[in-house]
Structure 1
Amino acid sequence: MKRRDLLTGALAASLLPMLSACGRDARPIAERLAERLGDLPGGWTGANWERGHRLRGALPTWAAAAETPRRAQVLVLGAGIAGLACARRLRLSGVDVALLDLEDQPGGNSRGHRIGAGETLGAGLRCPLGAHYLPTPGPEAVEVRALLEDLGLARQEHGRWVFEERWLCHSPQERLWWQDQWVDGLLPPAETPEVQAQYHRFGELVDQARREVGFAMPSTHHAWTPAHQALDAQTFAAWLEAQQLTAEPLRWYLDYCCRDDYGADASQVSAWAGLHYFGSRHGFMSGEEREAVLTWPQGNGWLSERLAAPLADRFHGGRTALRVREERHGVQVLVWNADADTVERWEADQVVLAMPLFIAARLPEQPPAALTEAASAMRYAPWLVANLLLDAPPLERLGAPLSWDNVAYGGEALGYVNAAQQDLDPSRGPMVLTAYRALRESQRKDLLQDDWRAWAGRVLADLAPMHPDLPERLQRIELMRYGHAMSIPHPGLRGSAALAALRERAQGRLHVAHADLAGYSVFEEAFTQGEVVAARMLKRG
């Protein structure tokens, strides 16, 4: 048998059990998907894990670098949102800054992408590679509000904030695949008085926690109290059990919310994190749309592109930081230049480590004790993001129409986003669906080693019951893998003394700026950490 025949057979075998609940057409769908996967264009995109894994091997010595170093007043290592925010603020304040990242494109988990470039689609259709929305910021998010104002996305009118209508998520916003049809919203329908009562009870508890404990976004702008510490000491699942909140639809929804924001379910994240998800934003709204969100075809890549714009001549991609040496009069950094295939040396007055803590702790020759301790406590969720190029919108089943966010009840996948939701073009031509999966930590190795078609098959198996003509519509699939996509706020992490010490660190020439300092990964936390570190450095002069 040819390799393609073997692959098709294996995929059919894996898809059939997952699709058996679809009805009489399950077998034909599985067979058509497997056949389509055999010659489907696509593959991995957007990440160079080999560059990051260079830190695992034998590292070059300082002597291997050229004697004359490259220099900047401030060197920011890592061009995710925190690094971009920090470097942008410093550059706009007149500081000579250089921004290095192992990837060729800045943005970290907030990068955008184009798929399907060619004669028909030109440069291709825009789509996200990671984070795809930003909730309209509340009063505590002063740094984020200032950014949105700078970018023309927000303004004050008659004492209230108004956001750019063009980029507020268009309706319909969310729908749930529930009992073989689509229903509005993501909260499962309460089909019994018991479920309805538990929805109501959980909403009351969230409101009570907002009043008595207090939550803010970003979380670092709210004082940490013994009440927060008590919630942080237990899992969200244990807290829910203690409140006798056991209804299956509620627990599934809360697990989904935790996996969506934290990459892990309620049995792994702290009760503080579970309540913070609702308490810092919109509360718990039964049967209603959530608060307004800003979104773009390329997701938060729209924001990262504009954060990077003032740094175009100061960004150096394909650079992997290997070693950092803090000295009396400056900081030396050993860097691998992937394009030149050589090692180079940089020096600066100050260095910002704007990267996940488990990486940041490996770079300094003498790391701060708090950095080492905090890094040892971190756990990270792997993620898979799949962009599916379709030649036309897929066949719709019963119920609510195609929405921006589309989720299936009961599954492990996080659903898919319609990247064209904000597009004002009414044509029914090609479109992109962006599917998300938060994986278990045990799947990290599989994510790295498995063939991309195997992961594509898993993604398509999730979507096929909802769109039976998917095999005919699908033209291409590109997958982005994140081995360590986001920090999991497990019990004890957010309230740790080590993280607090890193957030307050004001001595020395090394600084840390990353969403990890909040214990979890969202745009608001990352951007604020970058701004706070930049402001601290500017104040010191």
Structure 2
Amino acid sequence: MDRRTFLLSLAASPLLMQCQSRKNQAFGGQLLGPDHVAGHALTKGEFPPYSQTRRNRVVIVGGGISGLSAAWYLQSQGMHDFVLLELEENTGGNARSGHNRISAYPWGAHYLPIPNHENHMLKQFLAETGAIVSGHHTQKPTYHERYLCFAPQERLFIHGQWQEGLRPHHGLSKNELAEIEAFEQQMHTFRLARGKDGKPAFSIPLIESSQDPQWLALDRLSMTDYLYQQGWQGQALHWYVNYACRDDYGMPASQISAWAGIHYFAARRGEAANAELDQVLTWPQGNAWLAEQLASKSLTQIQSRQLVHAISQEKHGITVDALDLNSRQTTRWQADHVIYASPAHVLPFVLRQHTDLTQSARNISHAPWLVANISLSHASTLQGNLPVAWDNVIYDRPGLGYVVANHQTLQQPSESVITYYHALAQADSVRARRELYSKSWQSLQHSIMQELHTAHPMLEESITHMDIWRWGHAMTFPKPGFLTDHHRLRLNQQHDRLHIAHTDAAGISIFEEAFAQGVRAASHCLHRRAK
């Protein structure tokens, strides 16, 4: 099946827009998000004693991508004696999704770049799902045409009109264009660079990157400082880099390690036999599709609505106490190993030993996010001087723009769901989180509409519904010095029967890292069993 390309190359005519225009009318929606009420119950610590015990060789705590990847790897190695305990009704973590009559849509992560050739385990998984059709062991596998992002992929609204691609070029001066070109050439150099240890200077997962001091030195300054150090001061370039840091890490470039900022541009080198460089895989529900594939072989081992409130190291094993939020009964799980795949900020409330680990967990910071899914009665409202793209960004605005959830449909849709993203990027993430939860749906939707109105003055007349999801602890972010931060490194160490698998330990919250963390933790469990 060939990828659909948009046939409309011109904006909708004024007459058509007039026919579709209607009087402004109120639309509904609601505030959604993870079950923070149940999560906050951990701070009180008032739980019923366990009324039953069960035993499994491995207990996985958390059903986000890292936990699901651990379960997938255990299954792939023929080990089925495990249970996965998830707080929410559904697994997926920040790769969850929703749906309505128009389309499925993401509530978080929404794409996967084509993996690097050396990321063999991830490519094996993609081959199992059918996302890779053939040649997963080769340099250029063939990917399923249905999952490669349809064209047009990206556009940017800048200086009053849309341009192709997200790298600014419309309306810029020669000096600004030259500066951006110099930056891109430098990132290309970094992409090809290798350290004295023979490893790529920047790779995914991070552990595969070179440990050469010349590259690690970049971690000591912020990405903004790096730009100034190179003599790059133009607003357009700084916006572009700032956007990239907020997009992958949830924080501005001034708060992000220069090593991590460069990693965004230089670490991905994946190729495909049937796609261009920088191509991505995407689905209407975003990375929830990947989460569903990971979970599909472990459905009988997954138990949802389980609030883990105690993990205790015992003489001959490790125990996990979990409250079933439906029955309100606590079960004690006895295991040989526990894979902890929940966010680090929860760990101090559940771990009964390892005070060094809990102290390290408290030092992991998280960026809050807001995601809104907006249903439109007329998809043509999104048109402009260029056809609607999958990813649509508005220059110099607080948010990160929106993706069209039903972009991957094979016909031109008459209705659409757009998924709007806003990383509440502030130096003080605690304050940003409090502000996020203090605001009403009406206040948040008004701010979203103000931003989108810049590029789409008639958009509000087409909106039929807007749901807003608040992620208080959406992702960790790589601050300057994160590579050598002893708190993060301690989380990655071996801790007898406890294995930390969450991306908080990696320092970067992307699918590839979560997958690698889960596989690595599961591998350690199997290795220790074999001893």
Q: TM-score, normalised by structure 2?
A: 0.88
Alignment of 1:142-181 (within 5 A): 142-154=120-132, 155-156=134-135, 160-181=140-161
Q: Secondary structure of 1:322's partner?
A: strand
CA distance in 2, matches of 1:526, 1:273: 16
CA deviation profile, 1:425-461 (whole Å, cap 9, x unmatched): 3342x22000000013222112223212211111111
Q: 1:86 aligned to 2:70? A: yes
- Tell me the equivalent position of 1:141: 119
Residue from 411, 435, 447 that aligns with 1:446: 435
Task: Give the conservation status (yes or no) of the 8 Å contact 1:232–1:273.
Answer: yes
Name the CA shift for 1:159/1:435 in 2 (closer, same or farther; >3 Å). Answer: closer
Q: 1:199 aligned to 2:180? A: yes
How far did residue 368 of structure 1 move? Answer: 5.9
CA distance in 1, matches of 2:103, 2:469: 16
How far did residue 99 of structure 1 move? Answer: 0.5
Task: Give the conservation status (yes or no) of the 8 Å contact 1:136–1:291.
Answer: yes
Counterpart of 2:235, as a letter, is E
- Identical pairs, percent: 36
Name the CA shift for 1:208/1:471 in 2 (closer, same or farther; >3 Å). Answer: closer
Structure 1 alignment gaps of length 5 or more = 1-31, 116-120, 284-288
Q: Secondary structure of 1:381's partner?
A: strand
CA distance in 2, matches of 1:96, 1:162: 35
- Tell me the equivalent position of 1:28: none
How far did residue 423 of structure 1 move? Answer: 0.8
- Tell me the equivalent position of 2:54: 70
- Tell me the equivalent position of 2:3: none
Task: Give the conservation status (yes or no) of the 8 Å contact 2:43–2:349.
Answer: no
CA deviation profile, 1:294-330 (whole Å, cap 9, x unmatched): 0000000111011111111111111111111110112
CA distance in 2, matches of 1:265, 1:153: 33
How far did residue 361 of structure 1 move? Answer: 3.7
Q: TM-score, normalised by structure 1?
A: 0.86
- Tell me the equivalent position of 2:7: none
Residue from 363, 376, 381 that aligns with 2:367: 381
State the aligned residue count.
489
- Tell me the equivalent position of 1:17: none
Structure 2 alignment gaps of length 5 or more = 1-21, 196-200, 271-275
- Tell me the equivalent position of 2:239: 252
Q: Secondary structure of 2:374's partner?
A: strand
Q: Secondary structure of 2:56's partner?
A: strand
Q: 1:113 aligned to 2:98? A: yes
- Tell me the equivalent position of 1:19: none
Task: Give the conservation status (yes or no) of the 8 Å contact 1:102–1:318.
Answer: yes
- Tell me the equivalent position of 1:310: 297
Q: Secondary structure of 1:42's partner?
A: coil
CA distance in 2, matches of 1:163, 1:201: 32
- Tell me the equivalent position of 2:338: 351
Q: 1:99 aligned to 2:87? A: no
How far did residue 159 of structure 1 move? Answer: 5.9
- Tell me the equivalent position of 2:13: none
How far did residue 234 of structure 1 move? Answer: 0.9
How far did residue 47 of structure 1 move? Answer: 2.0
Which of 205-214 and 519-528 deviates more? 205-214
Q: Secondary structure of 1:420's partner?
A: helix
Task: Give the conservation status (yes or no) of the 8 Å contact 1:181–1:397.
Answer: no
Residue from 514, 517, 520 that aligns with 1:529: 517
How far did residue 394 of structure 1 move? Answer: 4.0
Task: Give the conservation status (yes or no) of the 8 Å contact 2:194–2:210.
Answer: no
How far did residue 282 of structure 1 move? Answer: 5.6
Task: Give the conservation status (yes or no) of the 8 Å contact 2:364–2:488.
Answer: no
CA distance in 2, matches of 1:487, 1:347: 30
Q: Secondary structure of 2:336's partner?
A: strand
CA deviation profile, 1:48-107 (whole Å, cap 9, x unmatched): 11111111223336xx221x3132221100000000000122134223111111111000
Name the CA shift for 1:168/1:330 in 2 (closer, same or farther; >3 Å). Answer: same
- Tell me the equivalent position of 1:3: none
Please report the RMSD computed on the Cα atoms of aligned residues, expressed in angstroms: 2.1
Regions of 4+ moved over 4 Å:
none
